[in-house]
Amino acid sequence: MSFAAATRIEQIQTMIGSLAAPAAAPQPSGAPGATSFAQTLATVRTPVAAQSGDGSAPFGAEIDAAAARYGIDPSLLRGLVRQESGFDPRAHSSAGAMGLTQLMPATASSLGVTDPYDPVQSLDGGAHYLRQMLDRFGNDPAKALAAYNAGPGAVARFGGVPPYAETQHYVQNILGGASA
């Protein structure tokens, strides 16, 4: 069996096993606006991170460090990584997005990311960009995630999560099924 196939089987088994795991309580980050962010997360089920065989999230320490650096709830960043790349640091979209946080080349470059396939750089760039979107949209995680997916212009134009099925699904998946 190829390494990729074995890895994918492990990911699927982990996802199945994580469905039965209880959701963790959201942890406020202490950053400005964290109270409203924590309140928002308290109204939704916390995303269940894909887990490795030992029960820890892939890149858990790196995700936690990037989240702390930018004052983001680690569960939000973990959910974004799960949704964007399935924790695959070599992920590459047909649109050209790359790495764990699926940064587009111009965005990655603007954030100082020189190798989007490097997990630490990708997580730092993705967390930095998510922090920018949280700041731009009043620390509203649904709007920030929608901006991460569809672009900040679309969120501004529609005054919230755009009526795009892909973006609505994206936000709902990360926030655990809450209304977007």
Instruction: Give catalytic residue positions.
Output: 84
Q: Which residues pair with 103 in a beta bridge?
A: 98
Q: How many other C-beta atoms are found inside a 10 Å radius of the C-beta of residue 30?
A: 10
Helices (H), the chain: 3-19, 34-42, 60-70, 74-85, 105-110, 119-136, 141-150, 152-158, 165-175
- Amino acid identity of residue 31, one-letter, is A
Measured distance CA(101)–CA(97) in Å, rounded? 8
The torsion angles phi and psi of 87, rounded to 5 degrees, stand at 65, 25
